[in-house]
Amino acid sequence: MAEGLPSPNVFRGLVPDGWQNMTFEPFRDGVEICHLGRGGPDVALLRYAPGASVPRHRHQGLEVIIVLSGSQSDDHGRYRAGDVVLNPKGSEHEVWSVDGCTVLIQWERPVTFVD
């Protein structure tokens, strides 16, 4: 390893189900978060309880979602385990989960809530 260069953060066994042993904290009503990396781009796990939602928001940079379990829905459709969703800068949506889900999320910049 080269001296002075940053080291990678490694989460061994995170997929397919190692994420279940991670520590989550409250994020929004019915949604918990486990931060994996901060400082832009940010990376986290979000765990939605059945029926939980996140209000309408606009993306200020690219957001990447990988559904790990359950399903997540937004204005454009329903996404199930294994689906990858790319929400481009300038897009907006509301997000919810009827049956609960866990997603791996990466975002370049914080979102702006529009409601």
Query: Which sign, positive or negative, has the C-alpha torsion 105, 107, 110, 112?
Result: negative
Summarised one tens digit per residue, pLDDT across range 11-52 is: 888 888 899 999 999 999 999 999 999 887 899 999 999 999
- Hey, what CATH class is 18-110 in? mainly beta
More confident residue, 12 or 7: 12
Instruction: Give residue limits of the domains in the chain.
Output: 18-110
96 has which bridge partners?
A: 53, 73
**Average pLDDT value for the chain:** 92
- Burial, 64: exposed, middle or buried (Cβ in 10 Å; 0-12, 13-18, 19+)? middle
pLDDT the model gives residue 1 = 54
pTM above the 0.85 mark? yes
pLDDT the model gives residue 57 = 93
72 has which bridge partners?
A: 79
66 pLDDT more than 80: yes
